Amino acid sequence: MSLIGKEFLSSVYPIFDVLNFLVVNRDVVSVANDFIKEYGLPPNDALILATCKCYKIECLATLDVEDFKEPCVERRFKEENVY
């Protein structure tokens, strides 16, 4: 592995110690399917929004505001556009 690759990995891996990864289980997939049907969301966006709903996450930071705008307003999610 190159020196740059080693430096990158040594700087990225510690970040994983502070992150909390959420499980995408059957409940999340079921809610995502509902979002796909109801709002026509692409599957990846539907999974993000369904994960927020199932884990009671109230804020969503996204650069993809247009896809999330309608479901976020209707579902009373707080939406923040991050640049």
Per-residue pLDDT of the chain (83 residues; tens, 9 = 90+): 777 778 888 888 888 778 888 999 999 999 999 999 999 999 999 999 999 889 988 777 777 777 777 777 666 665 554 43
CA dist 51 and 25 (Å) reads 9
- Predicted structure pTM score: 0.69
Is residue 18 a part of any domain in this protein?
A: no
Is residue 1 a part of any domain in this protein?
A: no
Total number of residues shown for the chain: 83
Domain range holding 57? 23-81
Is residue 76 a part of any domain in this protein?
A: yes
CA dist 6 and 49 (Å) reads 35
Is residue 11 a part of any domain in this protein?
A: no
Overall domain count for the chain:
1
Is residue 5 a part of any domain in this protein?
A: no
Nearest to 48 by CA among 14, 16, 12, 77: 77
Residue 60: its H or E element? strand 59-62
Segments in the chain forming alpha helices (H): 3-16, 26-39, 43-54, 65-74
Is residue 43 a part of any domain in this protein?
A: yes
